[in-house]
Structure 1
Amino acid sequence: MYWGRVAARMPCSLRFYDANDDHLAFPGSSSWLPDYLSRYLERCGLVFSVSPELTARLPIPSTVRCVELGNGVEYDHFATPLPDAPPELAAFAAEGGPLLGYAGAMDWIDTELLQETAAAYPHSRIALLGPAYDRTWQDRNRALLELPNVHWFGRIDYRELPAWVQRFDLALMPLLRDPLKRASHPNKLYEYAAAGVPVLAIEYCSALGAARGVIHIAGTPGEFVVMVPEALRDVRRAERQAFAREHSWDALAARMQSELLRASEREAG
């Protein structure tokens, strides 16, 4: 979007836009960005979007084709079993109880919900993997991070992430239910599913609907907390991995390539 005005003027055979997040809703977005985005979209021949909610927020001209691709996963990277657990995680898990885990940006999680979950299951372990982009996040969430059964490991290198996620007894998606997240389509859903681990999510975006047959979805924070034991017993590993494979980056790239070729042909007349 920062180059929208310039890109709209550059000569080319086809312009397209890949909308993978509601960037205009990010904190600190410049006031001039909407105009830059609109100018670029007016010159596009094709738009890709991750969700119907995001599509509705974009100023896409009625003449421009929009394809909702969703999000994806590097399937083999997460599905290939890794025999060795990361030592730090193994030491934390050895303290006892089921290992519940979250992998993603700390800024997007409902920390109050995680506190309630940790308090309800004091013999469990909750591992938090990922960065906090807001420098004040750690200080603002001391109450969560000081709980004895919660540990924030910080950013994990993508190459190493499957070894961590595969050790979860239950993967959590306790995301904030705000306008920014409602327009999202979480690739962590497919990363968890590819790893084969059970998944418990709070219903915060429409993308979760397609996964109802392989994950557990809570409608409220209270439901999320009480559903932990049921979700831990979920043995639909093969079904989850089959679902994730359907959303591999290879599958999405093939569809995107097909759409781009057709759009190029239309532009060429």
Structure 2
Amino acid sequence: MAILIYPPTIDWTWMKQRPQQILSQFAADGHTVYYANRTQTTEPLTEVRPRLYVVSNWDVWVNEELPIIQKASQEPIGIWCSNPLLAKDLPDHLVDWVVYDCLDDFAQWHPYEPEMLQKADVIFCTSERIYKRFKRISDLPIYLVRNGYDPSMELHLLPATAPSSKPILGYMGAWAPWVHLSILQRCAQLPNATVQVIGPEFGSKFVSHPTIQFLDNIPHHQLNQHIQHFSVCLIPFRINAITLATNPIKAYEYLASGKPVISTALPECRGMSPYIDIAENMRNFVELVEWRLKEPGDAESRIQYALSNTWEHRYFEIKQHLPNHFLS
């Protein structure tokens, strides 16, 4: 068994699915995990799941508690980090190994990555584009482990729904600059259709539109109540440096519902064809939506694809790539 530490990036309540799911898998497998909230308070250590603890006062914990753990523990201690901006502050002198799990390819992160790579022992990447970039610049062990589906969402258990005369075309995720508003506006012009957007503002402001509904942020465990009413699920991303390297978690969640999924030409979504329909341009996107409203396609094959790409599957991939002495 091992002890894993996740340095302060964001509070556990709002944590991204990938780190939260992977750390939870480590804890479920018997390892001890310490997750540090970004918000600093005097709250005591909290066990949010068996063997998974949230640290609310990182500065005190890393300077006072971690050295005690390090001296007393017979288990290897590792850091799991997904933010290279934290590289300079990692307590790597108190641990046995460091993993850099690169979730996104943000250009503003690149200047911080050399220091991160100096401290890392292993790199994991969420997409082939990120994987290839690191292969060009680093001799570290580098592995491609994509995102996955959380079966506890129970999207794969949703009842089948009949085609609706008033279809809902759904997008869930951050309302960010890479979301192609024009595509959604064109989709909203389809007869009787409503476009529904579920997610927080992230660098872009919601734009009022008569047939686009903005529902803001909804707790992750409640998303199935909305996805079940979607007729078609949308990934209307602009093609840019960020999205070319994106492996959208929403793609697995959409597919788990059995609903048809239309995406712009993202390489990672293209790799999920034929379960996802790929649009080469805006007109093609709207045409594919119209087609799937009439011919939803094979829901069961989509569900089975998602169930063969769960976070548990990803955890086993990670374990396979980690050296034995990291975990025992």
- Relative to the length of structure 1, the TM-score reads 0.81
1:50 and 2:126 aligned: yes
Corresponding residue to 1:174 among 236, 259, 266 = 236
- Give 1:90's aligned residue: none
Matched residues in 2 for 1:227 and 1:252: separation? 31
Aligned-residue sequence identity (percent) comes to 23
- Give 2:71's aligned residue: none
Corresponding residue to 1:68 among 110, 132, 144 = 144
1:227 and 2:288 aligned: yes
Structure 1 spans left out of the alignment, 5+ residues: 86-93
Corresponding residue to 2:267 among 185, 206, 217 = 206
> Aligned-pair distance for 1:231?
1.9
SS at match of 1:132: coil
SS at match of 1:241: helix
> AA paired with 2:269?
L
SS at match of 1:67: strand
> Aligned-pair distance for 1:3?
2.1
Worse overlay, 74-83 or 40-49: 74-83
SS at match of 2:296: coil
Matched residues in 1 for 2:274 and 2:322: separation? 32
- Give 1:189's aligned residue: 251
> AA paired with 1:137?
K
- Root-mean-square deviation (Å): 2.6
- Give 1:244's aligned residue: 306
Matched residues in 2 for 1:183 and 1:127: separation? 25
Matched residues in 1 for 2:291 and 2:174: separation? 26
Corresponding residue to 2:175 among 94, 99, 106 = 106
- 1:249-264 to 2 correspondence within 5 Å? 249-262=311-324, 264=326
Matched residues in 2 for 1:80 and 1:228: separation? 22
- Alpha-carbon spacing, 1:59–1:65, altered in 2? closer, same or farther (3 Å): closer
> Aligned-pair distance for 1:40?
2.0
Matched residues in 2 for 1:263 and 1:99: separation? 50
- Measured against aligned partners, the alpha-carbon deviations of 1:64-86 in whole angstroms (never above 9, x if no partner) come to 11111111110241435357x9x
Q: Which has the higher helix share?
A: 1
> AA paired with 1:16?
V
Aligned length: 241
Indicate conservation of the 8 Å contact 1:45/1:263, yes or no. Answer: no
Corresponding residue to 2:202 among 126, 133, 136 = 133
Matched residues in 2 for 1:66 and 1:249: separation? 19
- Measured against aligned partners, the alpha-carbon deviations of 1:113-165 in whole angstroms (never above 9, x if no partner) come to 1112212x04111111111122x512xx3xxx322x22111111111011111
- Measured against aligned partners, the alpha-carbon deviations of 1:2-31 in whole angstroms (never above 9, x if no partner) come to 220232752432221101112x43xxx4xx
Corresponding residue to 1:7 among 67, 76, 90 = 90
Indicate conservation of the 8 Å contact 2:158/2:257, yes or no. Answer: no
Worse overlay, 53-62 or 231-240: 53-62
- Give 1:40's aligned residue: 116
> Aligned-pair distance for 1:185?
0.6
